[in-house]
Amino acid sequence: MQPSLRYPWYVVFVLMLAYVSSFIDRQILNLLVGPLKRDFHLSDTKVSLLMGLSFALFYTLMGIPVARWADRAPRRRIIVFGVALWSLMTALCGVVKTYGQFFLARVGVGVGEASLSPAAYSIITDYFPKEKLATAISVYSMGAFLGSGLAVLLGASLVSLPPETTTVVLPLVGEVFSWQLLFFYIGLPGILIVLLLFTVKEPLRRGALVQNGKIEPVSLREAFGHIGRQRRAFFSVTLGITFVSLVAFGANAWIPTHFVRTFGWPIGKIGFSFGLIIAVFSTAGVLAGGWLADFLTRRGYPDGKVRVGLIASAGLLLSAFFPLVPLPEMSLGLCTLPCFFCAFPLGASSAAVQELVPNQVRALASALYLFILNLIALGFGPTLVALLTDYVFRDESAIRFSLATLTVVGGALGLVSYAAGLGGKKGK
């Protein structure tokens, strides 16, 4: 008789809430392009650096040392520290006075959020059997899309309210822009998640290398050696999800602005509509991809998780025309396609990485996976759209062509990367 998974699913739910919080904190800037440009006197490119590189640079750099810590120490403790840190740094965005201060606060958010996913993936893998792992990680990954959707919805509702004043005076801080208060609303509730995390039990480490009845310590060199022996599978999955996510981060950052510039929609209107699309269709995509990956695993396909990535990449290529249609309602409806396909392989790809290495290396493998993914996808996805708009098309209204170009490039590169990982034989 298999043990009950009731408590493991509770753990996934709590970790998902933390993931929701992290994505609200990192994605809220997507709705603040206008106020940021106006009040801090910024170009599209400088705004994109706040959206992407400022966060991604330290998110990725801190990921590997934090992951080594998570492979050896209690993982819940690491997550608690991270949630508290990023919540505080998000709130600090509400009091900054200069672009440089804003950049540094976003760096702090990235440092805090680096603690979550490597440790969370490792915990979930210890709680679930292989044939249900992709679904479990997909449910956790829902947090990314629920958080992104809620960030857009929350941001749209608040920025669309006509403020009585453009600035407010805070005790001890002084005068800040009224829209900066949004960072307090989304940052401080993270403390409640910290309290919930104390109900999560540290699981026994399964699948660890054991010698003489004791878990064998693994040096950094040995850990990278384990990853290196699986380099074809590792880099196929990692680069595949990276290029798919390049589209996701770039599109999510600039689709609201596309509707403002191309169709003249108010930010509140597109924010509400696009937030719902992310919350519904991206969530459906990640759950469907996780279910399909586990189904293929049960049917004996060792490369089932790679096949999920191939489907997603092909779907992106077929949906690349979504920003080019002339009617705003049609363009909005077609946004459901990239939202669905960008989310489709996330849980499957993350689960695949966990299965490649022993327990003592899982967090490190996840951190390396996330290092590549976020440095390229998050670091350059929003900026690539901005660079195409500013320096190739040289017209703010041409942002639709930048979005279409990004989708084609990301989908094609994802297809090639995932295809390199095919080749496993069907099991019995």
- Tens of pLDDT, residue by residue over 260-289, are 999 999 877 888 888 889 889 999 999 999
| Residue of 45, 56, 18 whose CA lies nearest to 372 | 56
Q: Helix, strand, coil % (nearest 5) of the chain?
A: 75, 5, 20
Residue 315 lies in a domain: yes
Residue 215 lies in a domain: no
188 φ/ψ angles, rounded to the nearest 5 degrees: -65, -35
Residue 392 lies in a domain: yes
Using an 8 Å Cβ cutoff, are 83 and 196 in contact? no
Q: Quote the domain boundaries for residue 391.
A: 6-199+220-419
Global pTM reads 0.78
215 φ/ψ angles, rounded to the nearest 5 degrees: -65, 125
Tokens of 426: 């069907």
Surface-to-core class of residue 267, CB atoms within 10 Å of its CB (0-12 exposed, 13-18 middle, 19+ buried): buried
| Residue of 34, 327, 21, 297 whose CA lies nearest to 148 | 21
Give CA separation, 164 vs 177, 179, 182, in Å.
12, 11, 15
Using an 8 Å Cβ cutoff, are 313 and 150 in contact? no
Residue 57 lies in a domain: yes
Sequential pLDDT tens for the chain (428 residues): 566 789 999 999 999 999 999 888 877 776 677 788 888 888 877 887 887 677 777 777 787 788 888 777 889 999 999 999 999 999 998 888 888 888 899 888 888 988 898 889 889 988 998 888 889 999 999 988 888 888 777 766 666 655 545 877 777 777 888 888 888 888 888 889 999 999 999 888 775 554 545 556 667 788 788 888 888 999 999 999 999 999 998 998 899 889 999 999 987 788 888 888 988 999 999 999 999 999 998 888 888 899 999 999 999 999 999 999 999 999 999 999 999 999 999 999 998 998 888 877 887 888 889 888 888 887 788 889 989 998 999 888 899 999 999 999 999 999 999 999 887 444 33
| Residue of 419, 103, 84 whose CA lies nearest to 239 | 419
Tokens of 285: 């995509």
Q: Tokens 């695993």 label which residue?
A: 297
76 φ/ψ angles, rounded to the nearest 5 degrees: -60, -40
CATH of the domain at 313: 1.20.1250.20
Give CA separation, 232 vs 64, 141, 307, in Å.
20, 24, 15
Say which residues have a Cβ less than 8 Å from residue 231's Cβ, sequence separation at least 6: none
Surface-to-core class of residue 230, CB atoms within 10 Å of its CB (0-12 exposed, 13-18 middle, 19+ buried): middle
Per-residue pLDDT at 44: 78
> How many Cα atoms occupy the beta-carbon half-sphere of 31 within 13 Å?
32
In this structure, what DSSP letter does residue 218 have? -
d(CA 34, CA 415): 35
Task: Quote the number of domains for the chain.
Answer: 1
Sign of CA dihedral 412, 413, 416, 419: negative
Tokens of 309: 């990535």
| Residue of 121, 152, 106, 400 whose CA lies nearest to 271 | 152
DSSP per-residue letters across 70-83: HTTS-HHHHHHHHH
Residue 125 lies in a domain: yes
Residue 60 lies in a domain: yes
Residue 214 lies in a domain: no
Residue 86 lies in a domain: yes
Q: Tokens 């669309």 label which residue?
A: 160
